[in-house]
Amino acid sequence: MSIRGLKKKQPKTFKVKVITMDAEMEFSCEMKWKGKDLFDLVCRTLGLRETWFFGLQYTIKGVRAWLKLEKKVLEQEIPKEDPIKFCFLAKFYPEKVEEELLQEITQHLFFLQVKKQILDEEIYCSPEVTVLLASYAVQAKYGDYDPNFHKPGFLAQDELLPQRVLKQYQMTVHMWEEKITAWYAEHRGIARDEAEMNYLKIAQDLAMYGVNYFPIEQNKNHTDLLLGVDAKGIHVYSINNRFSPNKSFEWSAIRNISYSEKELTIKPLDKKAEVFKFFSSQLKVNKLILQLCIGNHDLFMKRRRVDSIEIQQMKAQAKEEKARKKMEHQRLAREKQLREEAERAKEELERRLFQLEAEARQASEALLHSKETAELLAEKAQIAEEEAKLLAQNAAEAEQERQRLEVTALKTKEEKRLMEQKVREAELLAAKLVKESDLRTKETEYLKQDLSEAREAERRAKQRLLDVIRPSHPHIHRYPQHSPIGSGDLGIEKGCTRFDLKDIDLKRLSLEIERERLDYLEKSKNFEYRLKELKSEIHALKLEEKQKGPISHWNEVFGSLDLTLRKAPSWIKLCEARGGQDENLQRPFPPYPLNTLSSWPRINNCRSTTGEKRSVSNNVGTGTHKSIVKMLPWTHGTPSTRR
């Protein structure tokens, strides 16, 4: 056979796009297909057996129409599109959804369609009922509420409430979500099909549920009315009230419905009742009203007859399916509960395990810490023991220091007492020295007077001798009287003559006096040096006493000692004035070390004014030193008497 012949035998097709409430399907239909062929194909594709509730709807010139099943698809007034679009929707509504909707797919399609009508405000619903219906819709979509999974904002993308309700109250989306979630949490344990059935049970009680409205006119006065057709009958509403009908005709009370052109006639079963006539705007609308009335009446009569074998089988299968689903749901719920309990037990065990691990970790850390603490305590104990030893040693040293300080204090007291005693002795000695100095001054004056008298007597004696010798020896010249007599003039020898006078005694006396004077000055210097050393030693003790306590008593001692030392130089200055006659007084004094306070300078060669031998005893400290001054032998009286 040629290719041309094959082409002629291939049937021509056209494309159809069917839109359901949750899916879109495209079919390739033959040109000769009737509406029933396309409808059956869609139902088979969906797995729908309760086909009498649904139909294929299309829109032509703004009027919604249903595809006729007994006529060819292309012969009907359908939109000229490619593909041709049809909507698979519920054409007739059941009186009781729980008894009539047997298949789950049928129930699901009704749920989606009624939900859309409520959201599009084709069916009026109060805000409270709207929130309840929205909670069932959320339960059907998301299952049981889980606060860990369903966080705030999980309903933000879902359309659950009509815009009229949202505008009626000044509430935010978050507030509406809280209300819906509060109801949603109460539906825990409800399956999806059960939640959809509960939704439909609430929706079927609404006044506008399942009603198809058409504008009509009752007479030529153009009174505007609405004709409503539903599963229970025909209702007439005012144009502004779609809830309460003005007049109703139940299917059981209607004998006949007919139309002629634009006029529709409803004949009641009671012949005495008035026939209701009304006019529609278009002939197509009259045909649509008639189709809906016939279909709803047929379903009304079918519900009141004995179910067919097919319906009985479907109900039995649906019952078995519901029982099976219920058992499955119970089993799943039990398994879910057991799983939740197991998960809770697992979480509890994990929590307990974590707790035990944490306790074990804490115990190990505590053990480690206790070990570290024990080591630290051992170290601290060792350190404390060492500190105790050190403290004991310090205590012993402190005790020794205390004893030493006590001994030092005792020594200081003893030294203070000794020093005070020495100061008193020094004051006494200074007073004695001052007194002795005055005596020696007087004695020196007496000695000088004696020396001058002795020299004058010597001069007179020499003069007398010269006077005696000159007559007998004229060759001896006279000495001039102004010629000084030196120390070498004490012995005079001229020629063979020797003067055996007491010149040697005079010279010796003069030398002795000078030597005694020099010795006295030297000892005075030594005594002054000793006093200075004593003052420095007392000053050192004073500094040492400043570190231990007040020394107001020493200030009095130093004041008295300074007073004594200020008094002492009176005779030293006198000796220095006398020493101006001799160069020996200008010589430096030899160092006289002072090691102890008991070694004081000895005063030798002290002579009284009477010229007798005199001894001076100095008792200083614990030692006693006696000095005996040996004077030259001479007799009492003046030098002139000793010639």
The string of pLDDT tens digits covering residues 262-307 is 788 888 888 787 888 888 777 788 888 888 999 999 999 888 888 8
Q: 309: which residues sit within 8 A by CB, 6+ positions away?
A: none
Top-confidence range, 93-97, 369-373, 393-397: 93-97
**DSSP bridge partners of 34:** 72
CATH number, domain of 82, equals 3.10.20.90
In a domain, 492, yes or no: no
Confidence check: pLDDT of 604 > 50: no
Report phi then psi at 3, rounded to 5.
-65, -30
Top-confidence range, 133-147, 412-426, 430-444, 624-638: 133-147
Is residue 129 very low, low, confident or very high in pLDDT (cuts 50, 70, 90)?
very high
Q: Does 289 share its domain with 322?
A: no
**Distance in angstroms (rounded) separating the CA atoms of residues 441 and 447:** 10
Lowest-pLDDT range of 145-159, 211-225, 356-370 = 211-225
In a domain, 616, yes or no: no
Q: What strands lie across the sheet with 276-280, from one edge to the other? A: 247-250, 233-238, 224-229, 212-217, 276-280, 263-268, 254-260
Is residue 595 very low, low, confident or very high in pLDDT (cuts 50, 70, 90)?
very low
Is residue 119 very low, low, confident or very high in pLDDT (cuts 50, 70, 90)?
very high
Q: Does 464 share its domain with 324?
A: yes
pLDDT, residue 113, reads 94
In a domain, 79, yes or no: yes
- Note down the domain range covering 249: 212-305
Q: Does 359 share its domain with 417?
A: yes
pLDDT, residue 614, reads 39
Question: Do residues 89 and 113 lie in contact, with contact meaning Cβ atoms separated by under 8 Å?
Answer: yes
Is residue 63 very low, low, confident or very high in pLDDT (cuts 50, 70, 90)?
confident
Q: Does 421 share its domain with 279?
A: no
In a domain, 506, yes or no: no
Is residue 88 very low, low, confident or very high in pLDDT (cuts 50, 70, 90)?
very high
Is residue 222 very low, low, confident or very high in pLDDT (cuts 50, 70, 90)?
low
Is residue 547 very low, low, confident or very high in pLDDT (cuts 50, 70, 90)?
low
In a domain, 591, yes or no: no
Confidence check: pLDDT of 498 > 80: no
SS3 content of the chain, % helix, strand, coil (to 5): 55, 15, 30
**Distance in angstroms (rounded) separating the CA atoms of residues 580 and 315:** 167
Q: Does 288 share its domain with 427?
A: no
Q: What is the rounded (10 degree) CA torsion for 437, 442, 444, 445?
A: 150
Of 419, 454, 469, the one marking the end of a domain is 469
- 587: closest CA among 515, 517, 518, 533? 518
226-252 pLDDT, tens digit per residue, is 889 999 999 999 888 888 888 888 988
Q: What are the CA-CA distances from residue 462 to residues 41, 70, 455, 466, 486 (Å)?
A: 196, 207, 10, 6, 14
Q: Does 335 share its domain with 297?
A: no
Q: Does 363 share its domain with 378?
A: yes
Is residue 594 very low, low, confident or very high in pLDDT (cuts 50, 70, 90)?
very low
pLDDT, residue 398, reads 83
Q: Does 282 share its domain with 393?
A: no
347-357 pLDDT, tens digit per residue, is 888 888 888 88
Of 305, 330, 361, the one marking the end of a domain is 305
pTM of the model: 0.54
Q: Does 443 share its domain with 352?
A: yes
pLDDT, residue 495, reads 39
Is residue 413 very low, low, confident or very high in pLDDT (cuts 50, 70, 90)?
confident
Give the residue-averaged pLDDT of 378-404: 84
In a domain, 594, yes or no: no
In a domain, 299, yes or no: yes
Number of domains in the chain: 3
Percent pLDDT > 90 in the chain is 18
Confidence check: pLDDT of 592 > 80: no
pLDDT, residue 116, reads 93
Confidence check: pLDDT of 159 > 60: yes
Q: Does 296 share its domain with 316?
A: no
Give the residue-averaged pLDDT of 82-101: 91
Please state, rounded to an integer, the average pLDDT across all residues of the chain: 76
Q: Does 327 share its domain with 435?
A: yes
pLDDT, residue 470, reads 65
Confidence check: pLDDT of 109 > 90: yes
- Name the one residue in this structure whose structure tokens are 């065990």: 349
In a domain, 456, yes or no: yes
Of 67, 90, 113, the one marking the end of a domain is 90
Q: Tokens at residue 358, please?
A: 């944490």
Q: Does 400 share its domain with 290?
A: no
